[in-house]
Structure 1
C-alpha cells in the first residue's frame, strides 16, 4: 500500500492526517511481515530440494536385483576368506604346538623330525 492511495481518502472535506496515514502504513507493514514470515526459509528449502534431486539422479538406472546379487557374491567371498584365515590360524597353532612338543622331547632338528611324521594324521 502506498501513501498516495491513502491521501486520496477524505474525512468530510479534509484529507486524512499524516499521522493516521503513517499508522495505517505501519500496521500494513507488520501484517505483511507476519504473512511472509512462514515462507522466509523458502530459498533454503528450494536449495535443499535441488541438492536432494541431484543426489537421487546418481541412483537412476541402478538395478536393485543386480546390487543384491553383488552383495551376495561379496558375502560369499568374505565367508570363504574367513574360513581360509581360520584354517591358516589353526595350522599356525598346530605348528607351534608341534615344535614345542619336539623341543620338549629334546629333538635336535625340528624340520627333519617333522618330515618323518605323518602331520595330517596328527592334525586329525
Structure 2
C-alpha cells in the first residue's frame, strides 16, 4: 500500500519491487525503477515530478510507463509518447494475410468472372446427374 506522504520516486520503486516479487511477466529487475515514470492517467503525456508527494497530486490512480532514454527526469520536458510497461520492444510483426492485399481492379474483375462461371458450370454439371 502506498502512503500519501511518499514521493513519486518512492512509489515507483515500491511498485516495481512488488511487481518483481510477485513474479509477473515481463520480468523486471528491481534496480530498473529509475527507468519508469508515473503518469496521472493513461492519456497523459506529461509525467509527474519524481520529488512530488503522492498526496499532493490530487488523484488516486496512476499509470506506470517506461521512460525514454533520451528524456531527462524534468517533468516540464516530458512531452513524448512512451510505451506502456507491459509492452515488449522485440515484438515480431506478422505480414498481413494474402486476402487483405488489394488486387488491381483488372485482376479482381477477371478473378470474379472466373469464380462466377465456375459456379454456373458446377450447377449445370450437378443437375445433369
TM-score computed with the length of structure 2 as normaliser? 0.31
- Of structures 1 and 2, the one with the larger relative CO (CA 8 A, separation 6+) is 2
Larger Rg: 1
Of Structure 1 and Structure 2, the greater helix share is in 1
TM-score computed with the length of structure 1 as normaliser? 0.32
